[in-house]
Chains A and B, each alone.
Chain A
């Protein structure tokens, strides 16, 4: 079946630096994308979303970029903090209200 994948399974960054987490999605018909953050022992938490008619969306310290030409999604975290350490998932929607998730990228923030 189709799946969402990630380029880097683990990313280590220095506190204060910017982080970029990448994701390759598989279905060109996907119309909605979400980044989730999952801390140890917890369920995934919504970070930011973007619809297929947009290229960029900004939140507080986070930015999502969508490149539909190459089916690529990225999450940028500015001034990364220790509290940002978690596993990050991208998810795409192309079938009813169902999201398909990638395997995740672990972000380690070094103090």
Chain B
């Protein structure tokens, strides 16, 4: 399903570098989300957005920045990557308040 795509699929970066993970959806969904998935922690919400130019923090926002200038894009930036940010990152979108999410395929990020 190409409705929500994440890039890159895999990324290795060095500690202290800035890295941006991309998320693009073609459904014009209002809501978009970023989760990280770590063994033993399940999926934890980093940031979410209810519409273009509206974003808010989730459970684990520290060290991350998001923007949403267009409805279809929701990039996640790690301003200065740390090893603790090594994880699999999932973007998701939802068209309405009363429906579940559709997830992208994820980005596996390794910080060395």
Q: Which residues from chain A sit less than 8 Å from chain B, CB to CB?
A: 1, 4, 32, 34, 36, 41-46, 49, 89, 91, 96-104
Enumerate B35-74 residues with CB–CB distance to A below 8 Å. Answer: 35, 40-45, 48, 50, 58-59
Partner of A103, one of B41, B48, B90, B102: B41
Contact A99 B101 (CB under 8 A): yes
Q: How far is the CB of B12 from chain A (nearest CB, A)?
A: 17
In the complex, what residue of chain B is closest to A45 when comparing beta carbons? B103
Contact A34 B100 (CB under 8 A): yes
Q: How far is the CB of A71 from chain B (nearest CB, A)?
A: 17
Contact A98 B58 (CB under 8 A): yes
Given A32-B98, A43-B90: A103 in contact with B42 (beta carbons within 8 A): yes
Interface residues on B, range: 20 to 34
Interface residues of B, dominant DSSP:
strand
Contact A97 B42 (CB under 8 A): no
Q: Which residues of chain B are within 8 angstroms of A101 by Cβ–Cβ distance?
A: 35, 42-44
Q: Which residues of chain A are within 8 angstroms of B100 by Cβ–Cβ distance?
A: 34, 36, 46, 49, 91, 99
Given A89-B42, A98-B58: A44 in contact with B90 (beta carbons within 8 A): yes
Q: Which residues of chain A are within 8 angstroms of B31 by Cβ–Cβ distance?
A: 97
Q: How far is the CB of A86 from chain B (nearest CB, A)?
A: 13
Contact A102 B42 (CB under 8 A): yes
Contact A98 B48 (CB under 8 A): yes
Q: How far is the CA of A42 from the CA of B101 in the complex (A)?
A: 14
In the complex, what residue of chain A is closest to B96 when comparing beta carbons? A97
In the complex, what residue of chain B is closest to A3 when comparing beta carbons? B42
Enumerate B64-106 residues with CB–CB distance to A below 8 Å. Answer: 90, 92, 94, 97-98, 100-106
Contact B50 A43 (CB under 8 A): no
